[in-house]
Amino acid sequence: MTVDPSGPVLIALCGATGTGKSTFINDASGSKLPVGHTQISCTEQVIFAKEFMLDGREIRLIDTPGFDDTNVSDTEILERIGTFLKLTHNEGQLLNGIIYMHRITDNRVGGVSRRNFRVFRELCGPKALENVLITTNMWHDPPEEAELAREDELKQSDLFFKPVLAKGARMARYIRSDGPESAHKIIRLLMRNTPKPTYLGEALADGVPLGDTNPGKVLNEEMQKLLDKQKAEIEELRREMQDAIQRRDKEHQEELAIERKQAQERLDAINRQMQSLNDQLGGERVAREEQAKRFHEENKRNREELARLEQDLTAARQESEANNKSAAMLEKINQLEQELRYRRRGFWGQIADAFGGLFS
């Protein structure tokens, strides 16, 4: 893998549904990603915001779906994010930063939130954790005492963010009322980072099956807990049904039958997720792998053309200096710069097409 030093600053946004990832991206870039105001997810794919310039650098923000998506399983979410990370890893397009959004208004961080962050932590791995910025959102202006106390708890507790902060991650506040400038301040904290590979991108690029990766194992472990819990619930409902039958309580029998049907449906859904996580030969996965191979060949040609354009641009600039920046040379430089920008944009268009991502 060869890292492209001339590419844009790449920053991915992660976090639970409803934490404000899409809103942050819209504020920062002027994009128009759909924004939800409930726990129903508006982002089910990896989405690329339109590029924008900040302090003379081209910035690309990438929106990722949360693991608690209302319509897509956690397994599918991990696969989609993993496909993106593998693809960009193979092409030398590493992330300068990863923003993990968290609502400061959450009074407590429940089991689901801790599980999601655990998967995220394993997804990043120790190298990329140094480029992680945990960003708290939805602050009052001015901040309330309860919010400040909650922030301190998140920093100091081993159950929350203390372990990753100890490994180089940082924390920041996103103040929506400050407008785009607050988002830009956060991006500036990541712009000068050395791009680093994520664990998941490296592992998948090395051929490790998704279910055998660290985040895949965490997800499998958590689903096994849910599976055991669901089985226990079904067993309890079975005992209650036997009791209702002995008492000839028809009404209670009907209620229990509905509950058991719903519990069985949940159990079946968990089983399907676990099967999907450990089955790397599904038709959709094979199709994505074929797309990725075609993309790699197309991008190889594109990178060669980019290298040629960059050489031409360097030569033109040197010639322009020697000729006192003549109008003809300045025009040539302008044309080469435009073509170079077009080619780089084409790279990200190919990435989006490779696995269903979108530009907005």
Instruction: Tell me what pLDDT residue 350 has.
Output: 61
Instruction: Give per-residue pLDDT as tens, 172-191.
Output: 999 988 889 999 999 999 99
Contact 134, 100 (CB under 8 A): yes
Q: Which helix (H) or strand (E) holds 52?
A: strand 52-54
Q: What percent of the chain has pLDDT over 70?
A: 74
- Reply yes or no on whether the pLDDT at 271 is more than 90: no
The span from the CA of 123 to the CA of 75, in Å, is 13
- pLDDT tens digit string along 84-102? 999 889 888 899 999 999 9
Residues 313, 333: contact at Cβ < 8 Å? yes
* Terminal alpha carbon distance of the chain: 29
Contact 116, 67 (CB under 8 A): yes
pLDDT, averaged across the chain: 82
Please choose, from the candidates 331, 351, 354, the residue with its C-alpha nearest in 3D space to the C-alpha of residue 12: 351
Q: Exposed, middle or buried by CB within 10 Å (0-12, 13-18, 19+), for 90?
A: middle
What pLDDT shows up at residue 70? 63
* Residue 39 binned pLDDT confidence (cut-offs 50, 70, 90): very low
What are the tens digits of pLDDT across the range 68-77?
766 788 888 8
CA distance 108 to 149: 12
Locate 338 and state its tokens: 């435009």
Average pLDDT on 146-158 reads 94
Pairing type for strands 47-48 and 57-63 reads antiparallel
Positive or negative, the Cα torsion across 136, 140, 141, 143?
Answer: negative
User: What is the CA angle 307-346-188, rounded to 5?
Assistant: 85
Residue appearing with tokens 């301190």: 152
User: Given pLDDT bands bounded at 50, 70 and 90, which one contains residue 46?
Assistant: confident
What's the alpha-carbon Rg for the chain, to the nearest Å?
Answer: 24
Whether pTM > 0.85 for this model: the answer is: no
> Which phi and psi angles does 359 have, rounded to 5°?
-100, 145
- Tell me: pLDDT of 1 over 60: no
Q: Are 65 and 34 in contact (CB under 8 A)?
A: no
Say if residue 115's pLDDT is above 80.
yes
For residue 223, give the nearest of 271, 262, 264, 265 by alpha carbon.
271
CATH class in words for 9-205: alpha beta
